[in-house]
Amino acid sequence: MRIGLDAMGGDNAPVGIIDGAIEAVRERDGRIEVVLVGPERVVREYLEEHGYGDDHIEIVDAPETIGMNESPSQAIRRKKDSSIVRAMLLQKEGAVKAVVSAGSTGAAVVSSLFYLGRLNGIDRPAIALWWPTKTGTSIILDGGANADCTPRNLLQFAEMGAVYAEYFLGMKSPRVGLLSNGEESSKGNELTREAHALLAASDLDFAGNVEGGDVFEGAVDVVVTDGFTGNVMLKFSESVFGYFNWMIRKGVDSSVLARIGAAMMRPVFRGMKRKLDYAEYGGMPLLGVNGVTIIGHGGSSARAAKNAILAAERFVESGINEHIRARTEETGE
C-alpha cells in the first residue's frame, strides 16, 4: 500500500517526519511504501545523509509550504505546489491510498474536501480524537474541523464515530454520548438540545447527554460535540499534564523527601505521560471524506509520524469508509 506523507507538515518537519517514514517502512517491511511529498532536494539530501536508499520510500517534489497561520482556503487555492495539495492530488489520482499530514489542520481539512470530496450522506467531515479514559479509550468528535455545527452534523458525527469505534477499535455496538452542560435532555444549548432529539430518534446506542466530568470516566465510547468545544477540550487536556508536572516540580523543590519519592515514582509518571501522549495514538482520522486523511499533531515526533502512517494503513484496510457509506444508506441519511 502506498501512503502519501506531507513531509513539510508540523513543527519537527521535515526531519522528524522523514525519520517517522523510515521507521514505518522498516517496521512494515515491504508491506507499505511511503511517498514523501515536499521539496525534493531537501528530502533527498536528508535521506542520503542518513544512508537511506530508495527502498519503499519515494519522493514527489512540492516546493511550497502552507504555514500554520495562513487562511486554509486561500492557501489551498493559491499554493498548488504545496506539499499538502500535491499529496491530495496523488490520492485523487489513485497514486496513494491515504495522506498523512501534521501540518495546518485547516489546510488538511480544506484540501481533503476540495480534492477528495465528501462521502455520500455526509455534510461535513469531522476529526476523531482518541481519548484515554479509566476504562480504555473513547472517541471524541469533532476535534476541530467545524467550529460551527448543525444538529444534523452532530448526528452524522455520531454515526461516523460509532462506525469508527466498531471497525477500527473493535468495540461492539459502541455507546454514544452527547457532550453537554447537564445530564438531563433539557440541558444544553440550542444546538445540543436539537441534536439530542435526532440522536434519540436514531438507531444508535444513545446514552443521552454526558458532561465534561464523564469523559475521563469512559462513560461512553463515542462523545459527540461541535468542533469548537472539541478543540478547546483537546488543547486544554493536552496542557493538563504539563500543569500537573509543574505542580509536582514545585512541590518537590521544597522537600528532599518528596524529591526522592518522585525519583522512586518515575516509572509511574512515565506511564501516565505515555497514556496521555498523542504520539502513542499517532494520528486522528478525518472521517467523512471520500478518501483517507490522517491528521498528525503539530508537534509530531518521529514516533508520532510513524504511528500516523501505520494508522493510515489500518484505516484503509478496515474499510471504514465503506462501512460509513453502508450505514448512512441504511439509515436513509
Q: Rounded to the nearest whole angstrom, what is the least distance from the CB of residue 26 to a copy of itself in the complex?
A: 31
Q: Rounded to the nearest whole angstrom, what is the least distance from the CB of residue 244 to a copy of itself in the complex?
A: 6
Determine, following the binding rule CB under 8 A, whether residue 107 of this chain makes contact with a copy of itself.
no
How many residues bind a copy of itself (CB under 8 A)? The answer is: 62
Burial of residue 70 (number of CB atoms within 10 Å: 0-12, 13-18, 19+): middle
Out of 15, 197, 201, 265, which residue is the one contacting a copy of itself (CB under 8 A)?
Answer: 265
Stretch in the footprint of a copy of itself (CB under 8 A) among 18-26, 40-48, 83-91, 261-269? 261-269
Cell triple for residue 130? 482518541
Determine, following the binding rule CB under 8 A, whether residue 328 of this chain makes contact with a copy of itself.
no
Determine, following the binding rule CB under 8 A, whether residue 135 of this chain makes contact with a copy of itself.
no
Determine, following the binding rule CB under 8 A, whether residue 169 of this chain makes contact with a copy of itself.
no
Determine, following the binding rule CB under 8 A, whether residue 11 of this chain makes contact with a copy of itself.
no
Q: Please, how many CA atoms are within 13 Å of residue 147, restricted to the half-sphere of its CB?
A: 3
**H or E element: which one contains 113?**
helix 105-115
Q: Identity (one letter) of the amino acid at 64?
A: E
Dihedral over Cα of 161, 3, 111, 41: its sign: positive
Q: Rounded to the nearest whole angstrom, what is the least distance from the CB of residue 221 to a copy of itself in the complex?
A: 17
Residue located via cell numbers 527502498: 55
59 DSSP β-pair partners: 36
Out of 211, 277, 280, 333, which residue is the one contacting a copy of itself (CB under 8 A)?
Answer: 211
Out of 44, 78, 118, 187, which residue is the one contacting a copy of itself (CB under 8 A)?
Answer: 187
Q: Which of residues 46-85 bind a copy of itself (CB under 8 A)?
A: 69, 71
Instruction: Name which of 11 and 81 has its Cβ closer to a copy of itself.
Output: 11
Q: Rounded to the nearest whole angstrom, what is the least distance from the CB of residue 219 to a copy of itself in the complex?
A: 10
Q: Which of residues 112-131 bind a copy of itself (CB under 8 A)?
A: none
The string of DSSP letters for 182-206 reads: SSSTT-S-HHHHHHHHHHHHSSSEE
Out of 1, 95, 169, 258, which residue is the one contacting a copy of itself (CB under 8 A)?
Answer: 258
Instruction: Name which of 230 and 296 has its Cβ closer to a copy of itself.
Output: 230
Q: Rounded to the nearest whole angstrom, what is the least distance from the CB of residue 68 to a copy of itself in the complex?
A: 9
141 DSSP β-pair partners: 224
Determine, following the binding rule CB under 8 A, whether residue 167 of this chain makes contact with a copy of itself.
no
Determine, following the binding rule CB under 8 A, whether residue 239 of this chain makes contact with a copy of itself.
yes
Which residues of 15-174 form beta strands (DSSP E)? 33-38, 57-61, 98-101, 126-127, 129-132, 137-141
CA distances from 313 to 1, 24, 29, 253, 319 (A): 7, 10, 13, 46, 10
CA distances from 162 to 171, 173, 202, 245 (A): 9, 8, 12, 34
Which residues of the chain form beta strands (DSSP E)? 2-6, 33-38, 57-61, 98-101, 126-127, 129-132, 137-141, 175-179, 205-210, 222-224, 284-287, 293-295
- Where along the sequence are the contacts to a copy of itself (CB under 8 A)? 69, 71, 134, 144, 147-148, 179-182, 184, 186-190, 192, 211-217, 225-229, 231-240, 242-244, 246-248, 251-252, 255, 257-258, 260-265, 267-269, 271-272, 275
